[in-house]
Amino acid sequence: MAAVCGRGLLAPLGGRLWAGPRVPLRSVAATAAPLYDVVVSGGGMVGSAMAAVLGHDIHFRDKKIALLEAGPRKDYDHMPDSYSNRVSSISPGSATLLSSFGAWDHVCSLRLKPFRRMQVWDACSEAMIVFEKDDLDDMGYIVENDVIMSALTKQLDAVADRVEVFYGSRAVGYTWPLSSHRCDTSPWVQIELADGRRLQTKLLIGADGHNSLVRQKAEIKNIEHQYDQSAVVATLHLSEATDNNVAWQRFLPTGPIALLPLSDTASSLVWSTCHEHASELLAMDEESFVDSINSAFWSNINHSDFIDTAGAMFRSAILLLTPAGTAVRQLPPSVAKADPESRVMFPLGMGHATEYVQHRVALIGDAAHRVHPLAGQGVNLGFGDIECLARHLSAAAFNGSDLGSLRHLLKFETERQRHNVSLIAAIDVLKRLYSTRLTPLVLLRTWGLQATNALPFVKEQIMAFASK
């Protein structure tokens, strides 16, 4: 009361200092759209895992999380007997992440194939490199994407009170808040769905793939490049059952061909090659297709005498220095048939967002970076993003911070960019290096590969970096 009188009496004197309410003290449109703490846009492997990790985080117990997925909810209760043609190589680091919220147990109870050895060799020379762990531990796991999605869906269902999944909901528009210190308009991100529903969120995580709408709407520049290659995938059956725990990859001049173990009798094919050849492979009948695969792995047609001699010399030199430096090149198992209907192709490209974060926005997975499948790293980079972002968000939540604040989002960006940029660049360099028949480059990569193969320390570093 005294204050009111004081105000009235002072008005003529202190008018300048007492201008009255500058802006109305109402919350703008906050009652209209439901407000979430985190919205993950994109319900693929990476988006679903992100939502599940946050949902299982103890510091997010009071928070509301939403996951937007454009597709319908799939029933993963019954896995078909035949293998799916889309598989991923899961690194031990990703397996650790998945087990941290209970999804890995589901994967193990469905099906997966661990592999212990990876042999990578050149088509133009004898050079090869073999990766395996000293203790013959599992180097990684080949898991069908559907199996991973089934595990993630189960774990999302387990925290349905905290994570709301919107199936059949495609986001069509995002509205960003005005500059952070203006107090008179809603400070949250507004999301508009295709069916007209609206959501608000304090933090938007874009996990919507390499054509990310979140990234586009946030006007984050993306460095991208379409490779002149497509990948052909198929499910193959081996001629005879074998201890199928090796992943094989051969660099052909047209692109790498990889055979990833699915079981003792089946393997998955990922063959990156030029678009025309890919279309041919799809159009061939099964017998020709199988013959092409076998000859791609076995034929030495691309060898040249010069390179062979140079390679042999280098190998003897290495043998002098490190007697155990070379191993015998093994041949992959031969393929007998291919599953009908399992031959599919898709184009390949490379992409990297210049920024992973902005105020109230973070990009993870393919929305942030897209790589060639030659290193089997695509989804593992995404899982690495999840682990890092979840760690920073959990700490921020435990500190009571505003989840959309750039302070901790920038820490996530710095940490991940440091890791990702070198790996993405290396994969791109390898792709280009191995796409040529030019003798000097073949010589370079032959000697390079042989040298690397002879240095266990370097190989360990590579494996450690790739399995994070």
Binding residues with other proteins: total (CB under 8 A): 43
SS3 for 175?
strand
Stretch that binds other proteins, among 39-47, 227-235, 345-353, 392-400 (CB under 8 A): 392-400
State how far the Cα of 176 lies from the Cα of 187, in Å rounded to an integer. 8
Q: What mask of x and - would describe binding to other proteins in positions 45 to 64, judged by CB under 8 A?
A: -------------xx-xx--
Residue 395 gets the label, from left (phi > 0), alpha (psi -120 to 50) or beta, of: alpha
> Shortest Cβ distance from residue 29 to other proteins (Å)?
9
State how far the Cα of 434 lies from the Cα of 411, in Å rounded to an integer. 35
State how far the Cα of 447 lies from the Cα of 313, in Å rounded to an integer. 10
> Shortest Cβ distance from residue 404 to other proteins (Å)?
11
Closest CB to other proteins among 137 and 184? 184
Q: What mask of x and - would describe binding to other proteins in positions 2 to 41, judged by CB under 8 A?
A: xx-xxx-xx--xx--xx--xxx-xxxx-x----x------
> Shortest Cβ distance from residue 163 to other proteins (Å)?
15
User: How many alpha carbons lie under 13 Å from residue 438 in its C-beta half-sphere?
Assistant: 8
Binding of other proteins at residue 356 (CB under 8 A)? no
CA 331 vs CA 125, 182, 245, 295, 445: distances in Å: 14, 66, 13, 11, 21
Residues 6+ apart with CB under 8 A from 206: 41, 42, 212, 213, 214, 215, 218, 361, 362, 363, 364, 367, 368
Q: What mask of x and - would describe binding to other proteins in positions 197 to 236, judged by CB under 8 A?
A: -----x----------------------------------
**Which residues are bridge partners to 40 per DSSP?**
67, 205
Closest CB to other proteins among 327 and 406? 406
Q: What is the largest CA-CA distance in the chain?
A: 102
Q: What mask of x and - would describe binding to other proteins in positions 127 to 166, judged by CB under 8 A?
A: ----------------------------------------
Site for other proteins (CB under 8 A): which residue of 306, 346, 398, 465?
398
Query: Which two tokens mark 224?
Result: 């991208």
Name the site residues for other proteins (rule: CB under 8 A).
1-3, 5-7, 9-10, 13-14, 17-18, 21-23, 25-28, 30, 35, 58-59, 61-62, 179-181, 183-184, 186-188, 202, 397-402, 405-407
